Amino acid sequence: MDAAGKPKPGKWPAVVWLHPYAYSTGWSARSPWNASTAGYLADQAPSFAALVSRGFAVLAFDQIGFGTRLHESRRFYERYPGWSLMGRMVADVHDAVDALARLEEIDASRISLLGYSLGAKVGLFRRGGR
């Protein structure tokens, strides 16, 4: 962002936020748009506003079994016997990165995964499967 708070010209780097274990809230746990120091310390992660102010695009979504997708995991193994919930999470992250890379505003060579707890685990599996 420039001094006026407007995006700099050119393509943006992007961050895919991978939330921790938060079954009922998913990615929205602890108000990620809150840029306060208390919010940062409580959530152990930079706020979305802090990332955006540094020029990053941020993509956040609920992983299967969490937040708005809590019920998608119901009877998952009956419906998809050849899959695991973790495998679905990793595939979703792969799809999210692919979707970002196709946006003309995003620099596909500068897409990062950011998360802790469950999010870090999913990110590591995604990176290892690349």
For the chain (130 residues), the mean pLDDT of every run of 10, in chain order, is 72 92 64 51 64 90 88 93 94 96 97 90 82
- 22: tokens are 């938060």
With the C-alpha atoms ordered 37, 18, 33, 21, is the resulting torsion angle positive or negative? negative
Q: How far apart are CA 89 and CA 27, in angstroms?
A: 13
Q: What is the pLDDT of residue 40?
A: 47
Q: What is the pTM of this model?
A: 0.79
Q: How far apart are CA 16 and CA 44, in angstroms?
A: 16
Contact 13, 26 (CB under 8 A): no
